[in-house]
A and B are shown apart, each in its own frame.
Chain A
Amino acid sequence: MQRSSRLALLHYWVAFATFLPAVLLGAWQMLMRSPLPAPLDDSAAYYASVTLHGTAMAYVVTTFFTMGFGYAVAATSLGRPIRGVTAAWIGYAICLLGTVMAVVTILAGQASVLYTFYPPLLASGWYYLGAFLLIAGSMVWVVLMILNMAAWKRDNPGVPVPLPMFAITATAILWAWAAAGVLLELVCILLPRAFGGSELIDAALGRTLFSVTLHAIVYFWLMPAYIAFYTLVPRAAGGRLYSDTMGRLTFIMFLVFSLPVGLHHLFMDPEHGSGFKFLQSSLTFLVVLPTLLTVFSISASLEIAGRVRGGRGLLGWIPALPWDEPMVLAVGLSLVMLGLGGFGGLINMSFAMNSMIHNTSWVTAHFHLIFGGAVVIMYFAIAYEMWPRITAKPLRSKRLARIQLWSWFWGMLITTIPWHIAGLMGQPRRVANFDYSDPLMARMGPLVIISVIGGLVLLGSAILLIVVLVRSHFGAAERVEPLGYAIAVNPPVRVAPALNGFGLWTAIVFVLMILTYGYPIGQFFILKSHSVPAVEITMPDAGGAP
């Protein structure tokens, strides 16, 4: 167990050590694109910074956090050490090497292509190689999660897999499917071109392959938060999980509905027909099912806890909940942000409404509210929950942790609400400089300035997070209760095989992927070629600092 804990802790360290500088970059970017004066006012630096912020937040923080969370969950929920610890350390080393390689290349100004790559933009090959190693290294984790679950099932025939383990394995399978797109894009398109193996670059095929990743990766980020919703929150609130089956169904639905939907990121791309765009848009809407199911069952679980604690009446259970627990507070704040962001998301995924806000600040605001808000605040709560149990050093101050969560919540709202409005006004995303003297842009100026204030609050909150964790780390050791998971009202005794494994669901995903992506990807090989000259940003006069 000790070795599994150490594994989780080192993954968390990389995640949070990357997190703070990435937030700092984000705050500077807000300032840079605002009417206020910014230090280092240089657009080349801005694009390098956006790339670094995106790469750090989307690949490094999330992958390391989820891997660490997965190892911790596997060890604690199965109640036995992880099998394949050596392989896990090798995977960790590969991911770390890839991270360093990518970060150094971006800092050298040789990779300002943003984390979505989007050919024909072309960065230095070392950036792509770094990203490849990071993502490919995480496949070791995927295999270990699946193997650990399979081994446990073999050793415990007929016993339901514990929900946390079931959920983290769903996350691993989801990530394997999701990563397939970007890995194929890197291996077949970007790396050969970057290292001089080919002359042209098939931009459209590259974008299509990335779209396979682009939506499912979001659910990969989201899954630890949902696992916490189902397995940690009810216990922290002092109650029980309303339904184990609902939890299983939720994770299964996330696996199925997050994959055949990525074309909704390419609504404006001309190389795909409207039929496939509509089909995938329509499948995207199904994600409301697991989301609403979760909102229902988490509310029900919290109601159980509130009533156990003496809450009476229709809504009396809400004030009765232990809001001073970081985990309970975080879930409340997270659901508010999830609700606001979710409604914005419905507009993004609608084939027609999307055109109003496509590529505007609205989109950036949306995913900051959902990922940066609803999901990351749960990462904080998970860290506050797990850190003491791994290090045997309890949180020094729960009050400081609550202040951190509240400030993150308000910072995110202050940042993203004006950002949404500026997007509706037509402010494009991923642009370094705006001419705020232009009458069209002038009315967005005050909104952008409010966003900057939110960004500074977020930076303060991120510093506070590190302070809370480091202070506790150097505190006195105490006996801490080991990590436990919520028990369902009706603990599962016998579970249908389909809800205890992923064979059926993987087969359904496979068929759906063939039906929804077979032609959109296949057409490039039989009908169309979109090979174009690459736009190399590695040239000294194009990308680097002047």
Chain B
Amino acid sequence: MAGGEGQSKPDNPWPSIGWGTMGVVFMISFLIGFFVLGGVQQNGPTLGTWAAFCRAVGLSADSQPAGGPQPSPRTPTRIAWTQPTLARIASGNAQHGAFVALTCAGCHGKHGVSASDLFPTLAGMNSAVIYKQLDDFRAGKRVSAVMGAIASALTDQDTADVAAYFARQPDGLLPVAGEGVPESGRSLRQRTPSIRLAFAGDPERGIPPCAACHGPGAQKLGAPPLRGQHVAYIERQLGSFAQGIRQNDINEQMRVIAHELTPDEMHALAVYYGAADHTK
């Protein structure tokens, strides 16, 4: 390695070639890797020299906890399906509820069967659903000037009572049954898109079947029965979920699903569920 020193220097150029080449290659790679590429961000401004270096070393500023105050996370609703909540709903007094419901009749119809597609039919709706929606209106989780004001005037017990009252009214929302229900196991091959969506969903888009929560597959707590609801009302709600105008679904499931639906599909689903004649 140190040979050839007695003679003229160019006789053994290898140490300078070796160290020189490796030094140059290393420095070029180092500068590009640590200062040029380290500073490039996909969707942001190029970082400064020091920030680029830290990032290239693996110590990035964005891995530190943020210093400033964070906005408190928004919750979609105040209701959780705990035992006390369910007990409170179950304690609803339908007789007192009928008295409270006098306020509602103007828009939602006598006995909760609405004549206008601006207002949903409440008769036959699950009491937990009505209770949750009223609480959401009161807390501002579901936004409506009229319903917000009305719900604020109700006590918690009034809410449970009126929910119990509407849940017992006949001639409103119906259970899904009969000709529209496909044979089990064949729903993915259904020709009609609305029935396919309702009973099989669309796995490629991550859409679960509607029937899994809204019936008849299962009736999940907090999911309203839909059969017999106004077509225009269902369609409007799907649109509101899709655009994020309505945000009171507990696990964000309706916002995610509605976001994936096309306007035609929303309409077809609304027609499928709302087809029953409930205005008689």
List chain A positions with a Cβ less than 8 A from chain B: 256, 271-279, 282-283, 286, 496-499, 501, 503-505, 507-508, 511-512, 515, 519, 523, 527
Contacts and interface: CB of A to CB of B under 8 A. Distances in A.
Nearest to B35: A275
Contacts of A277: 33
B25 A275 contact: no
Contacts, number: 87
B181 to A, nearest CB: 28
Given A282-B25, A496-B4, A504-B14, 18 more contacts: A271-B58, A273-B38, A273-B59, A273-B60, A274-B55, A275-B33, A275-B38, A275-B58, A276-B33, A278-B37, A278-B56, A279-B26, A279-B34, A496-B12, A504-B1, A504-B15, A505-B18, A512-B26
Given A274-B38, A496-B14, A508 B22 contact: yes
A505 B18 CA distance: 8
B22 A497 contact: no
Interface string B1-17: 11110000001111100
Contacts of B38: 273-275
A275 B57 CA distance: 6
B241 interface: no
Top 5 closest pairs, chain A to chain B, by CB: A275-B56, A273-B58, A498-B14, A278-B33, A497-B3
Nearest to A512: B22
Nearest to A500: B3
A270 to B, nearest CB: 9
A279 B59 contact: no
Contacts of A275: 30, 33-34, 37-38, 53, 55-58
Contacts of B59: 273, 527
Contacts of A282: 25, 28-29, 32-33
Interface of B: 1-4, 11-15, 18-19, 22, 25-26, 28-30, 32-34, 37-38, 53, 55-60
Nearest to A439: B204
Which secondary structure dominates chain A's binding surface? helix
A255 to B, nearest CB: 11
A282 B24 CA distance: 12
Nearest to A505: B18
A275 to B, nearest CB: 3
Contacts of B55: 273-275
Contacts of A503: 1
A276 B15 contact: no
B22 A273 contact: no
B60 to A, nearest CB: 8
B1 A274 contact: no
A277 B53 CA distance: 13
Contacts of A507: 1
Given A286-B25, A498-B15, A273 B57 contact: yes
A264 to B, nearest CB: 12
A243 B57 CA distance: 42
30 contacts: A271-B58, A274-B37, A274-B56, A274-B58, A275-B34, A275-B37, A275-B57, A275-B58, A276-B33, A276-B57, A278-B29, A278-B37, A279-B26, A279-B30, A282-B28, A283-B26, A496-B3, A496-B14, A497-B1, A497-B3, A498-B15, A498-B18, A499-B14, A501-B1, A504-B18, A507-B1, A508-B19, A511-B22, A512-B26, A515-B26
